[in-house]
Amino acid sequence: MMKKSVLTRVLCILLLLSLVAAFAACEETGETSGAVSTPSETTSETSEASLFSNLPETTYGGVDFVILVNGDCYDQYASAEVLPQESSDSGLSTAVKARNDLIEEKFDITLKEQRTETTADMLDFLRNNAAAGLSEYDMVMPFMSEAATLATEGMFLDLAELENIHLDEDYYDRDAVDGLSVAGKNYFVTGDLSLLSFACTHAIVFNENMIEDNSLEDPYELVRTNKWTIDKLQEMARVATADSDGTPGMSYTDTYGFLVNGNFASSMFIGCGQRFTTKDSSDEPVLAINASGAVSAIDKITSLINDQSATGQIVEGSSFYDTAIAAGKNVWETATESVANKRTMFRAIALIDLFDMGQYDCKFGVLPTPMFDESQDRYYNRVSTLYASCVAIPFNVKNQEMSAVITDALMQASTDTIKNAYFEVILKGRKIATSSSDDSLEMLDIIFDTRVYDLASIYNWGGASEYDANSITGFLNSVAFDSTKEFASTWESIANMVQSDMDKTLESYRSLDD
C-alpha cells in the first residue's frame, strides 16, 4: 500500500484519540458530533478495490469471532474499538458498526467481545484457558505490559510467521513492529485498531496566548527549524514562571512555565535520542543506559525538572501537587485547568490528555518532546506502554488462519472506516484543530512519525513497573526528580538486577523455540 498522506495520517491520529474520549459534552447536551458517512457512501474506488485484496477469498460459516479486551475497570483506558458501547458517542458507535459490517459480511463471521471486569482478568483468563485446554478467544487486545508477561509464557503466536498477517503494511505501526520484536519474533503489535497506542504517546501541550503575552518565539517554527530543545523549553519557561496569586510561596494557583509529571523524565531521555535498550545483530535487546551522551542528557533533564524558576513538578511533595491535594483538588484535572486558564505555559502530557483541554475556551497547541540540542537528527516521542493497547493471537486458537485473516482485516478496515466516517466530524468538532490551528496538525504528524517503543519501558527490568525506582525506567525518573541522586552510583545499585531480569526475559523467549 502507498504511504498515507500527511493529512490522512493526522486525521487517523485525531480520530483514534477521539474514539478513546467520552464525548461527554455532546452527550450532556444531546447533540451529535456531526454527520457520519458510511464507508459505502464515501470510500473511494481505489480503497474499495484494495481493501482486503491481500487476504484470501474465504468465508467462515457465520461463526463467532471472539476478542478479549480490557473493560471498564480501566475507566478512560477501556476498550472502545471492537464493538459499539452504550457509553460512547453515537458517532463512535456508528463508525465501529460500519467497520464491523464490512468484515462480518465479507468473511461471514460475527464479531463478539469479552470485556474484563477486574485488572487481573486479562492474565487470568488466558492462563486459565490454556490450563483447561480451552480456545475461547480468537484474538486478544491486552495492554503492552500484560502482553509482555503473557508472551514470555508462550501464550501468543508469532505474528511474523502467519501468512495472512501483513506487518509491512501501513495499517500496522512499523515503529512497533521493529521496536517490540525479540529475536525476529512479533508476539504482539500495534496498528490502526490499537487506539491507545496513539493516545498514550507522550508530547507537550502549550497555551498559545501565554506565548503571545510573553512575546516569545513561535514554538511551531522552533520545531520546524530543529530549535525546539530542552534548553529552549527551559529558557521560555523561566520567562513565564511567577508567584502570581498574591500569597507568598508557590502553589497550584501560581504561574508555571512548565509542568511535568513523574514519568516524563524517561520520555525526555528518549526525546534526546537516547535509549534504555538497543538491539544486537540477533534482534535481542542490549542495555544502552550508559551509551555515549546518556549522562549529558540526564544532566540536562535533571536541570530542567529541578529548576524552580521554570518548572513545577506534578509529584507528591511538590508545591503544585501538595497544595492542590490540600485544597481537595484532583491533581491531573488541576494541571489541565492550569494550562487552560493561562497559569501554565507548557505541560507534559500523553496525547489522550488533549481531549480534556477541549472542554475549555482557550488556544492551545501540541508539540513533540524537545530535542537534546539542535544537532540532533530528529524528534523522538516515547509511547508510555502501561495502558497502550496492542493485538495478539493466542497460541491455542481454534483456527489460526481465521484469526490471522480477521485480525489483519480489522487493522486495515479500521483505517478506511475511521477516515471516511469521521472526516467531517473531525473538521467540525475538531477539539484539537480549532484550538491550536493547522500548525498542531503538522506537529501531530511529526509526533506520529517519530514514536518510540523501548522494550525496557514494557518489561520494566529491575522492578515491578515504570514507577518503581528499581526498574530501569523508574530509576531514571527518580534520578531526574531528585537532584541529590547521582546517576552513576544509582545506576550501579540496580544494574545487576536489571541485567538479570533482561536475561531471564530472553531465556523465556529462547525456551519457546525448544
Q: Quote the crossing angle between the two packed helices 319-326 and 331-340, to the nearest 10°.
A: 110
The backbone torsions φ and ψ at residue 249, rounded to the nearest 5 degrees and listed phi first, read 95, 145
What is the secondary structure of 268-302 as a DSSP string? HHHHTT--SEEE-TTS-EEE-TTSTTHHHHHHHHH
Whether the CB-CB separation of 501 and 459 falls below 8 Å is answered with yes
Report pLDDT digits (tens) over 140-194.
999 999 999 999 999 999 999 999 999 999 999 999 999 999 999 999 999 988 8
Domain boundaries, the chain: 6-53+62-199+386-449, 202-382+454-511
Q: How far apart are CA 100 and CA 95, in angstroms?
A: 9
Q: What is the pLDDT of residue 192?
A: 87
Residue 200's nearest CA partner among 20, 360, 335 is 20
Q: How far apart are CA 199 and CA 157, in angstroms?
A: 26
Cell numbers given for 69: 479486551
- Element of type H or E holding 396: none
Per-residue pLDDT of the chain (514 residues; tens, 9 = 90+): 333 443 344 444 444 444 334 333 333 333 333 333 333 343 444 355 588 999 999 999 999 999 999 998 888 888 888 887 665 556 667 888 889 999 999 999 999 999 999 999 999 999 999 999 999 999 999 999 999 999 999 999 999 999 999 999 999 999 999 999 999 999 999 998 887 888 889 999 999 999 999 999 999 999 999 999 999 999 999 999 999 999 999 999 999 999 999 999 999 999 999 999 999 999 999 999 988 899 999 999 999 999 999 999 999 999 999 999 999 999 999 999 999 999 999 999 998 887 777 678 888 888 999 999 999 999 999 999 889 999 999 999 999 999 999 999 999 998 877 545 433 433 333 444 444 467 877 888 899 889 999 999 899 999 988 889 999 999 999 999 998 899 999 999 999 999 999 999 999 999 998 7
For the 6-53+62-199+386-449 domain, the top CATH level (class) is alpha beta
SS3 189: strand
Cell numbers given for 38: 458510511
Q: How far apart are CA 231 and CA 296, in angstroms?
A: 13
Amino acid residing at 412: Q
Given this chain, do its domains 6-53+62-199+386-449 and 202-382+454-511 carry the same CATH topology?
Answer: yes
Q: What is the pTM of this model?
A: 0.86
Q: List the CATH code of the domain at 202-382+454-511.
A: 3.40.190.10
Q: How far apart are CA 423 and CA 161, in angstroms?
A: 35
Report pLDDT digits (tens) over 385-415.
889 999 999 999 999 999 999 999 999 998 8
Cell numbers given for 338: 492550569
What is the secondary structure of 34-48 as a DSSP string? S----HHHH--HHHH
Listed in sequence order, the DSSP H helices in 112-255 are 121-132, 144-152, 174-180, 195-199, 208-213, 219-224, 230-240
